[in-house]
Amino acid sequence: MGCPGRNAVGAFIKKLKQEKGPFDFIIAESENAAGGFGLTEKVANDLFSYGIDILTNGNHIWDKKDFVPLLDELPNVLRAANYPAGAPGRGFAVFEKNGKRLAVLCLQGRTFMPPIDCPFQTADRILDGCDEKCVFVDFHAEATSEKKALALYLDGKISAFCGTHTHVQTADEQVLPKGTAFLTDVGMTGGHAGLIGMTAESVMPKFLLGLPTKFDVCEKNVKFQAAIIEIDEQTGKALQIERVSSIVE
C-alpha cells in the first residue's frame, strides 16, 4: 500500500528469507502499490528488485492509465482473468524458476464488485487446459462468502488459494479437505493506523459528508502481512500454510 508498503516489503522480504527461506516463488498483490491506487512501471520494477517474482492485481490496476498498455508487455504482471475478452493483459501464466514451475491464476469477485465474467466458470475453463501440478490462485473479492465458496469449489484442483482486496487479514488459514491451502484474505502491507491503508483524516469527510475527497496514504503502524505456503511439487497438494503479520520497525 503506497510507499510505506513498498519500503516494508523491501526490508521485510530480506528478513523473511533469512528466517523462513529460501522461497521458490514470491507473489505480491500490487494494485495499491503506486500511491494507493494502481501500478506504474517504476513501482513494478522496484517490487521486482526486492525479490518479488509475480505481481497480481485487482480492480485498481486500471487506475494509472499510462500503465494499462504495459499489461500486454510485462509477462510477470497479471490482472484478473475473468475480465471480458479483449481487455489488456493476461490473468493466467506458468512461471519457471530454478527448475520449479508454478501456474498462477488471478481472478476477481462479483459480489459488491464490478460485474465482470463469472470467476467460477473462468477458473474451470483455464484449469481444464492446465497440466501443471502446482497452481496458485489470487481471488480479489469483497465478500468472504464468495471467497470461501470459490476455494471450496476449487479444492483439490489447485494448490493454494489466497483472497485479497479487503486490506484486512483474516485468521482462518487452513489446508482444505482435498489439499488446497486457503486464507480468506492475506491482508495488507502498509500503514494500519488509518482506514485500510489511508489516513483516517483524509477518509472521514467522505463518511461524514458523502463528498469525494482525496485520500492520503497512511504512514503509521506499518505492518508486513503475507502467507507462506508449502506445496508438494509431486502431487500439487498443500502441506501447510502459515500466516505472517509483523510490525515493521
Cell, residue 76:
510477470
Residue ranges of E strands in 167-209: 174-175, 181-183, 190-191
Measured distance CA(189)–CA(215) in Å, rounded: 17
Cell 512501471 sits at which residue?
A: 41
Measured distance CA(242)–CA(249) in Å, rounded: 21
For residues 229 and 238, is the Cβ–Cβ distance under 8 A? yes
Q: How far is CA 232 from CA 217, 237, 240, in A?
A: 39, 6, 10
* Beta-strand relationship, 54-56 and 27-29: parallel
* Secondary structure percentages of the chain, helix, strand, coil, to 5: 25, 25, 45
CA-closest candidate to residue 164, choices 139, 191, 189: 139
Q: Which residues are catalytic?
A: 60
For residues 70 and 81, is the Cβ–Cβ distance under 8 A? no
For residues 23 and 93, is the Cβ–Cβ distance under 8 A? no
What is the identity of the amino acid at 184? T
Number of helices (H), then strands (E), in the chain = 5, 11
